[in-house]
Amino acid sequence: MVDILRPDEVRKKYGELFCQNYLTLVDEEHGTGQIVEICKYRGPGQWDIVNRKRSKGILRRIRQDGTIIIMDVDLGRKELNFGPVTDEIGGQGVCGMVVEGDMVRTSWFGIAGASIGVGACIPQCPDVIHTEYPEGTVVGGANRVNVDIITPKRVRVIIGMDDTDTKEKGASWVVSLKLGESCPIGKFIEHRIIQLNPKVPNKTTNCCSTAVSFAVKEEEIPELVAYCKQFIKEHSYSQDAVMTVFKGLEIPDELRDFGWSAKSVIYTPEDAEEMAKKHNVEIIEVTGRKGVIGAVAAIGCFDLGDKAAGVPEDFE
């Protein structure tokens, strides 16, 4: 037997806890997924990261940005290995992420105090549809808990942009950040400022492009793209603004290399257009065409972490 609880029922049973968002993104073409959690506080995330790395399961990579935890995972199921963890120390891990139609099932185990995180904290997030508990589950204490958390299936969409500003007014990174904060479609996840080649002849001041990512349902993508295009058009000071769109969790190596080399190489618009065509990056001329190099490079650099914000000599 399985007990099924909605987020409001979990909250009523265990009290208000700390997880604010729990998003499951999938890239079925590449067999990968991403779990995004937002907690009220940083400390629980630090503990979770160490324990999830130890237990591994389907985990590929995990990182924390403030109170956001982002986990890159393999779709499917894999055994957990809690290593030296005992019932007295506790432990936590994710052993499965499976697509079921327009929903995603993630399977978690938690031991001792960690059982509260997977059994009571995450399941009360508003993004969760419901959580399935084996009959007789007891959360907390020295108990071992395994639950399946059911969520809507979402995909990642990255919106890149460049040349929304002029030498006198604006900054592209401000436009993208305001876009992310104001967008009513999907969930705003990450923001990047991409430093490009400061030696290019045609630039404003810093020669930066920018990008934001969203978790959206597949059917929401056209609405998201339309909203972003209109927002950029209304907030651009330039007649050269370009927007790019990329769907997926795996940025191709060649596109990533293009983004990185755009920090030191002077490319032509045709170079960027060719790269975009090869790797399913949609180019939208919002007010013009000149920003195409930076907007395509913004997609390529999106998953480079701190490297996105610098030039190669910063990391030598």
The confidence score (pLDDT) of residue 240 equals 86
Are 108 and 218 within one domain? Answer: no
* Distance, CA of 294 to CA of 314 (rounded, Å): 19
Task: Point out the domain boundary residue: 152, 180, 200.
Answer: 152
Asked if 144 and 172 sit in the same domain, the reply is: no
The verdict on 68 and 163 lying in the same domain is: no
Report pLDDT for 45. 87
pLDDT at position 1 = 86
Tell me which residue has tokens 């490079």: 297
CATH number at residue 214: 3.30.70.2200
When mean pLDDT is compared across 68-72, 108-112, 277-281, the lowest value belongs to 108-112
The domain in which residue 189 lies consists of: 155-315
Q: How much is the mean pLDDT over the chain?
A: 91
Residues 129 and 202 in one domain: no
- The answer to whether residues 215 and 303 belong to one domain is yes
How confident is the model over 128-172, as pLDDT tens digits? 999 999 998 888 877 889 999 999 999 999 999 998 765 656 678
Q: How far apart are CA 294 and CA 263, in angstroms?
A: 10
Are 159 and 298 members of one domain? yes
**Same domain? 160 vs 218:** yes
Domain boundary among 106, 131, 152: 152
Tell me: do 167 and 305 sit in the same domain: yes
